[in-house]
Structure 1
Amino acid sequence: MGPRQPPKSRPSDLAAGPSAQSQALTRYYSRLQADLLAQGLLRTDGGGPDTPFTAAMLARDFERIALYDEYESGAGMRASKSGAGVLRRWSDPVRVKLHFGASIPPEQRATDTKSVTNYVNRLNRVTGHPIGMRDKDANFMVLVVSEDDRSEVLSSVRTIVPNIQPAFLQILEEIPSSIYCLVLSLSNMSDDHEYNKAIAIIRAEHPDLLRLSCIHEELAQGLGLPNDSPAARPSIFNDDDEFALLTTHDEMLLKILYDRRLRAGMSAEEARPIIRRIARELVGTHS
C-alpha cells in the first residue's frame, strides 16, 4: 500500500522544493526498489542459462502479449476480460520527444535524456522500423513528471489528445502509487489497427533503476506489445518484476511484431502460423 495522499502543491510552490506528497513517494519508491533488489529482482542481465525458452514458448508469449490487451478499452485501468484481438503496430515512423515537468532538476533531465535516447536507438535497431528522437512533429511523447507537475501533465495530455477518454483522464488526476508508469497508444482514425500517437508517463520520484525500467517497458508497450503474461520469461512483460530492462526474449518479441510477413489487423488465427515460423528462425539462432 502506498503513502497517504497529502494535499497537492501549487505550481508556485515548486521553487520551495518538492511537496510533502512528492517526497513521500520518493521515499516509498526508494524502499520498494531496495526491497526488490534484496529479493534478487529487477535483474538487468537480459536473461541467461537459468531462463531458457523455446520457439514455442516465444510464439506463445508473443500471442499473449501482442494480441491481448492489459486493460479494457475506455474503462481506465480495469483489467481486460476480452479474448484475442488483432495485431496492432505503427506504420508511420515513430518520432519520440522527451518532455520534463517543471519540477525536474537538471541532473535528472540529463540522465533521462541519455537513457531515452540510447533506448530509442536500440528500438530502432531491433525492430527495423524507423524510430528516433525528434523535437518537432513528435508523435510519441514521453513525459517525465512528478506529483507536483500534475496540472501541467493534464494540460499537456489534453493538448496532445483533445478527445481523450474521460476514464484515462481520471486516472491521470489521481494516479495510485501502485501504478509505476503508464502509456496510452492511439490508433489512426482511418485504420484502428495502426498506431499514430502515444503518450508515456514516467514518475520522476522513482530512483534511477525503477525509472529506467519504466522507460523500457512503456516505450516497448507503446510500439504494440500492450499486455503482460505471467508465463513470459525472461521478460519485462511480466508483473513479477524479475527483470528491470528489455531482455533478449523481449527483443525477439519486437522483431516478430515488426516482421514484414505480419501486417496490422491480422487476427490470431491468421498470424499464428507466421508467428511460429518467425519464432523458430529467431530462437534457432540464439540457442
Structure 2
Amino acid sequence: MRRQTGIALGVAALLAGCAPLPAPLTSAPPTSGAPESSPRPWGAPGDLGENGRTVQRSPESAAMVAYYAQVERTLKSRGLMRKDVAPRDAAFRKWELVDDFVAIALYDEYDSGMNARVTPSKLRRWETPVRLAVEFGASVPEAQRAEDRAMVTAYAGQLARASRHPVGVVRTGGNFNVLVVNEDERRALGPRLQQLVPGITAATIAAITDLPPSTFCMAFAFSDGAAPVYTRAIAVIRAEHPRDLRQSCFHEELAQGLGLANDSPEARPSIFNDDEEFSLLTRHDELLLRILYDPRLRPGMTEEQARPIVQTIADELLGPDA
C-alpha cells in the first residue's frame, strides 16, 4: 500500500497481483513501450460493440486477453483462486485475527516515495456512505457490463453487511468510481481521472496509466490532506481479465478501498495476501471489516491505541477462548 501527500489530497494506493506471475506463460504482452496505435480518448468507440457498434482493439490489448486467460488457468491449476469462504483447512485463532487486522489496517505496504517498504500507518476508513459507480470503457461488451454490474451490486451488499457501514451502487454521483477498461483505454485515462479527483497528482495518474501487466488491478483512496478519513476512491480493473479474475479484482480492490489497505503474507484465509490462494472475501476478511468500522475505533488511531480495542472486539466476535 502506498501513501503520499498531494495538493489538498492524501492518497493510498492498493494493488492486486503484484507477486511474480505464474509460469509458464505464453503470448505475454509487451511490458514497456507505447501501443501500436495511439490511445483513444475515454469513451471513444473500441472493438467489442458499444450500443451495437464494432470498435477496434489494439494488438496489445488483444494479446492481454490471451495472456490473462492463461494466468487464470495457471493459478487454478496450482490450487489457487479458491472460492471457499470458510475453509476447514485454514482455521484461524483470535490472536491471529488481531495480528492480521493490525498488519492490514495499520501498516502500509509502500512508503511515501512509493517504494515497497512496510511502514507504520494509522487507521483509515470512510465516515460517509460509500457510493460505488461502475464505468466501462467503450470496448467492454454489453454482456460483460451487465455481469460486472451484477457482481459489484451483490458485493456491495456483502461489504455493507460485513462492515455495518453503508455501501451501495449508484449510476451517477459516486464517490468510489470503479473503472473497467482495456489496455488502450487505461493509458488514456488521465483526463477522466482529473475530472473525478481534482488535484490528483501526476504521479498517481502515471501509476494508473503505466500499470505493468504483473499488476492485475489497483485502487486509490483519497482523503483531504493528511486526514485519516477517505472521501473519494478509484479502482481500475482490466477489462481483458476473464470473469473469475475480474471478480477477484472487484473483491480485493473494493474491500481495500474501504480501509484494509495493506497485504500480509501471514493472513489466511484472506484475499489480503499476495499469494492469490483465495479470490473472494472470506469470513476472516468480513471480520476484519467488522472490526475496522466498529465505532470504538476512530480514524487516526495508531497500533498502540487501537490494538487493545481490537482485542476486545475480537473477544466479542470469536469468544474469549477462541
**Structure-2-length-normalised TM-score:** 0.83
Instruction: Identify the residue that residue 4 of structure 1 maps to in structure 2.
Output: 30
Instruction: Identify the residue that residue 290 of structure 2 maps to in structure 1.
Output: 255
Match of residue 239, structure 2, among 183, 188, 204? 204
Deviations 1:86-109 (A, max 9, x none): 111000111111111111100000
Q: Using the TM superposition, name which of 247-256 and 180-189 deviates more.
A: 180-189
Structure 2's unaligned 5+ residue stretches are 1-20, 22-27, 47-53
1:3-82 paired onto structure 2 within 5 Å: 3-4=29-30, 6-11=35-40, 14=46, 15-73=54-112, 75-76=113-114, 78-82=115-119
Deviation at 1:199, TM superposition (A): 0.3
**Structure-1-length-normalised TM-score:** 0.93
Match of 2:227, SS state, is: strand
2:188/2:209 contact within 8 Å kept? no
Deviations 1:185-219 (A, max 9, x none): 00134x61100100000100000000000000000
Letter in 1 for 2:154: N
Instruction: Identify the residue that residue 95 of structure 1 maps to in structure 2.
Output: 131
Structure 1's unaligned 5+ residue stretches are none
Gap change, CA 1:108 and 1:277, over 3 Å in 2: same
CA distance in 1, matches of 2:293, 2:55: 47
Q: Using the TM superposition, name which of 129-138 and 250-259 deviates more.
A: 129-138
Letter in 1 for 2:266: A
Deviation at 1:19, TM superposition (A): 1.6
Moved over 3 A (4+): none
1:246-285 paired onto structure 2 within 5 Å: 246-284=281-319
**Once the two structures are aligned, what percentage of the paired residues are identical?**
47
Aligned residues: 283
CA distance in 2, matches of 1:264, 1:10: 40
Task: Supply the RMSD in Å over aligned alpha carbons.
Answer: 1.9
Report the structure, 1 or 2, having the larger strand content: 2
